[in-house]
Structure 1
Amino acid sequence: MKPCLSVGLLLLAATFHLRAENLTETCAACHGDQGQGNAALGAPRLAGQQADYLLRQLQAFKAGQRGYDPQDSQGAQMRAVATGLVETDLEPLARHYAQQPAPVSSATPGAGSAQGEALYQGSCAACHGPQAQGFAHLKTPSLRILDARYIERQLTHYTRGLRGGEAHADELGIWMRGIALQIRSAEDRRAIVDYLAGLSTPATPAAQQVGH
């Protein structure tokens, strides 16, 4: 390899590395320096999430298919951030956070989880997995690593059309809204969320520093 070509490739690699660091610094303001999330800000944990899901959500935010309704304040903020990204930024970001280790769960199902488990297995498990682990080929997220308030908020947004609305969302978002609408009551949503909280990895101290 010619010396000038070698130097050029090294400079290009250094440029990409520096840009990746700058991008993750932007994400860290809400999602934490290791992608651990911040429940107080409504920012979900990204570390250990399905890479294909993260990539699809970044694309959806950038295209206005998510975060389109101002009532979804966190989604609107994320849409504004994603709009400033170039297409080639998205996959490296998704892969970076997917490769970060998620804490090992030490939680156990709480009281009343039997109803939530039955509802989850009947409504959610086909796409998100029997253990809520998500599936890469379906671009569905692991729900185990998401905090309860985030999951409940997203289910509520789906039922209200703040996410998954037919005029805006992609096929997966529209499909998920249809599933959410089949969970007919707030009590059933709460039971599913409580069940998932029993499977979830514990929140990190950094994600608990500030309360609502």
Structure 2
Amino acid sequence: MKYRICIGALLLAATLHVQAEPAPAGVQLQTCAACHGDKGQGNPALGAPRLAGQQANYLLQQLQGFKAGRRGYDTRDSHGAQMRAVVASLDEAEIEPLALHYAGQDLGPGSVATVADASGKAVYQGTCAACHGPDGGGYPLLKTPNLRILDAAYLERQLSHYAEGLRGADAHADQHAIWMRGISLQVGGAAERKAIVDYIGTLAAPAPAAGQ
């Protein structure tokens, strides 16, 4: 079943211990800003996703994956290969401060919710919601990203890369990416991937509780 993967991930997941960390060096932030923006807001024109406000556990895992060659291993994934080259120059000790820095940036909930074909809701809720949440916000314990703050082109590209093995291949990827590739193969092609992405675009961040 689709949900067993996420249950297993929950049992195996380790949390990122948020503690006092040295601030990232200016040169590191300048390097990231060249593609991701000065506040980590992302740049869809460059294929660079928003980092600001993303789950810290997820950002740490992805940076470690690039560093170890678990992501960006396929040259057809040009954006991933570029990121792998950039992260290769970082020391291990520099990675966690970067993840915590961008996770702590507050740029608001992301793009305004849009309207999409209703078919995307059923596919999302049946395939994606168990790990990414019914509202697309992700779960820190599962190291799953907040999908609501990622642009549509990036989401569609990543789903395609998983399906094609450019991301999540058994010979390279970590267990989370391998599981995600398995999920992507349950999605019925480009049209269904687009329906999922369009539906994610309709998801809005939950309203803050009274008094907050």
Classify the TM-score, shorter chain. 0.7 to 0.9
The answer to whether the 8 Å contact 1:105/1:199 transfers is no
Structure 2: which 5+ residue stretches go unaligned? 1-20, 206-212
* Higher share of residues assigned helix: 1
Q: How far apart are the structure 2 equivalents of 1:44 and 1:200?
A: 18
Instruction: State the TM-score, normalizing by the size of structure 1.
Output: 0.83
The answer to whether the 8 Å contact 2:74/2:81 transfers is yes
Q: What is the correspondence of 1:1-212 to structure 2 with a 5 Å cutoff?
A: 20-105=25-110, 107-112=112-117, 114-199=118-203
Runs of 4+ displaced beyond 3 Å: 16-19
Number of aligned pairs?
Answer: 185
- Flag the structure with larger Rg: 1
Structure 1: which 5+ residue stretches go unaligned? 1-15, 202-212
Structure 1 residue 185, shift from structure 2 partner:
1.7
Instruction: State the TM-score, normalizing by the size of structure 2.
Output: 0.83
Give the aligned residue type for 2:96. E
Give the aligned residue type for 1:103. G
Give the aligned residue type for 1:61. F
The answer to whether the 8 Å contact 1:146/1:200 transfers is no
Change (3 A) 1:70 1:197: same
Change (3 A) 1:130 1:178: same
SS of 1:120 mapped into structure 2: helix
SS of 1:198 mapped into structure 2: coil
Q: How far apart are the structure 2 equivalents of 1:57 and 1:105?
A: 21
The answer to whether the 8 Å contact 1:147/1:200 transfers is no
Q: How far apart are the structure 1 equivalents of 2:190 and 2:120?
A: 12
Structure 1 residue 28, shift from structure 2 partner:
0.2
Over aligned residue pairs, what C-alpha RMSD do you find? 1.6
Deviations 1:80-102 (A, max 9, x none): 01110000001100000000013
